[in-house]
Amino acid sequence: MVGHYDPLPGKDGMKRVGLDFERIRYWLSVGAQPSDTVARLLGKAGILPQFPRRKAAQHADRPANAPATSSVPESEGKGGGSVL
């Protein structure tokens, strides 16, 4: 485990994040690829460059009444092992 993230704010209103910077840098140095969510968190922590936000650009070409589609292939969404 290289860190933890609790998205629910505590009594003080702060979200909890704990990162083991040494292990994260090690895994990145040997080729580990973080998920988009992890890359965004690592960008906020200063380990990676800030992850670009694409949400508005992704939906710009889609008509307002078109259904949203998942961009994760079915094979990746089921039990894939991610190091980070």
pLDDT tens, residue by residue, 69-84: 555 555 555 544 455 5
pLDDT lower than 70: segments of the chain: 51-84
pTM of the model: 0.53
Predicted confidence at residue 71, as pLDDT, reads 54
CA 8 from chain centre, in angstroms, equals 16
What pLDDT is attached to residue 15? 84
Q: Is 46 helix (H, G, I), strand (E, B) or coil?
A: coil
**Confidence (pLDDT) at 57:** 54
The pLDDT score that the predictor gives to residue 72 is 54
Terminal-to-terminal C-alpha distance of the chain = 8
Strands (E), 1-84: 3-6, 16-19
DSSP bridge partners of 1: none
